[in-house]
Amino acid sequence: MRKNPIYSSIDYEKNGIQHGFLRLPHSRDDSAWGAVMTPIMQIKNGSGPTALITGGNHGDEYEGPVALFNFAGRTEFEDIQGRVIVVPAMNYPAFQVASRVSPIDGVNLNRTFPGKPDGTVTQVLADYFSQTLLPMADYVLDIHSGGKTLDFVPFSASHQLEDKQQEAKCRAAMRAFGAPYYVSLLEIDSGGMYDTQAEEMGKVFVSTELGGCGTTRVESIEIAKRGVDNFLIHAGILDGELQHGKEKPMCLDMTGDEAYLFSKHSGLIEPCVNLGDNVKKGDLMARIHIIERTAVPPYEYHAQCDGMVIARHVPSLVKMGDCLNVVAEIIEDEF
């Protein structure tokens, strides 16, 4: 099989702070010998664990990139023991055009792992993470938000894993991140996800959803910045004390399909609940108005389980099959 064509200008074994690029040759109409240049930085100080921290896996999610462009600007590394590799905007072509998927090949990076060294641009990038960056890492943090089409209450997340020891380590790191909520996440479809790749390689993996609507808020940025430091402190890489918010974090569980409310209609959403509201099974969640004509009664959508509204669809126009809401159960902290 072809060798991965990405060239990294970072020397991963070198001590100190380095800024560089992952250069992926991309010959195209406006640049015969062009390349996709994904910014990457590393801080290394002696021996110790390695953390790999990413944002912009989906190009329209911004808490990760803002927190990581900030982190990458640090000039000190005496308080670091080990290695931190930071890619603020993982799917860089998507990030450049504020899109969830790559404009080059239309591929969703987070559905294409483990990737292919001889595939399309996004598949080659995924392969580089699978074959080069992930093998170096002990701790992996991938900062997500809802993008242009979803909005979330801010939470860190880990998955239920077959290896219970690994699961416990992921949960401990998820807690340490210090978001107001944490969630034991059940993915709709975990195939091809970066999460799954990192977990199958035995890494301590934490993901997040910190907001959405294709933008950021002061509070969500604060959570992301604090979370990056907390994650590194927890990993034993950064000196310092864990910093948590004022409120005690709440633990949420999404273990059943009933957590997800999908639209069976296309139309105009009239929301009947807000993010963070507590609902009971059967409560009215939203009404969807048919927009082709007047005097058609709206379709009503009801909660399928008790819990808290942790996600909502953002554009007011919804399409059949879109996720309208997610409801998670509030559980006793058992982590």
Residue among 207 and 263 whose Cβ is closer to Ca ion: 207
Please answer whether residues 63 and 215 qualify as being in contact, where contact means their C-beta atoms are separated by less than 8 angstroms.
no
Residue among 98 and 290 whose Cβ is closer to Ca ion: 98
Residue among 67 and 80 whose Cβ is closer to Ca ion: 67
Residue among 210 and 251 whose Cβ is closer to Ca ion: 210
Residue among 44 and 58 whose Cβ is closer to Ca ion: 58
Q: Rounded to the nearest whole angstrom, what is the least distance from the CB of residue 181 to Ca ion in the complex?
A: 16
Q: Rounded to the nearest whole angstrom, what is the least distance from the CB of residue 301 to Ca ion in the complex?
A: 23
Residue among 58 and 226 whose Cβ is closer to Ca ion: 58
Q: Which residues pair with 167 in a beta bridge?
A: none
Distance of CA 153 to the CA centre of its chain: 13
Please answer whether residues 306 and 279 qualify as being in contact, where contact means their C-beta atoms are separated by less than 8 angstroms.
yes
Please answer whether residues 106 and 119 qualify as being in contact, where contact means their C-beta atoms are separated by less than 8 angstroms.
no
φ and ψ at residue 4, rounded to 5 degrees: -60, 130
Please answer whether residues 67 and 102 qualify as being in contact, where contact means their C-beta atoms are separated by less than 8 angstroms.
no
Please answer whether residues 46 and 98 qualify as being in contact, where contact means their C-beta atoms are separated by less than 8 angstroms.
no
Query: What single letter denotes the amino acid at residue 132?
Result: T
Residue among 185 and 233 whose Cβ is closer to Ca ion: 185
Residues forming the site for Ca ion (CB under 5 A): 58, 144
Q: Rounded to the nearest whole angstrom, what is the least distance from the CB of residue 145 to Ca ion in the complex?
A: 7
What token pair was written down for 297? 């009664």
What token pair was written down for 296? 């058609």
Q: Which residue is nearest to Ca ion (CB)?
A: 144
CA distances in angstroms from 60 to 91, 163, 320, listed in the order given: 10, 33, 22
Residue among 21 and 62 whose Cβ is closer to Ca ion: 62
* Residue in the block written with tokens 């664990």: 49
Q: Positive or negative, the Cα torsion across 6, 197, 108, 207?
A: negative
* Residue in the block written with tokens 């993010």: 275
Q: Rounded to the nearest whole angstrom, what is the least distance from the CB of residue 57 to Ca ion in the complex?
A: 6
Q: Rounded to the nearest whole angstrom, what is the least distance from the CB of residue 299 to Ca ion in the complex?
A: 27
Helix (H) or strand (E) holding 39: strand 35-45
Q: Rounded to the nearest whole angstrom, what is the least distance from the CB of residue 27 to Ca ion in the complex?
A: 29
CA dihedral defined by 147, 231, 175, 135, rounded to 10 degrees?
80
Alpha helix locations (H) across the chain? 63-72, 92-96, 121-128, 134-136, 164-177, 194-200, 218-234
Q: Rounded to the nearest whole angstrom, what is the least distance from the CB of residue 33 to Ca ion in the complex?
A: 33
Q: Rounded to the nearest whole angstrom, what is the least distance from the CB of residue 105 to Ca ion in the complex?
A: 18
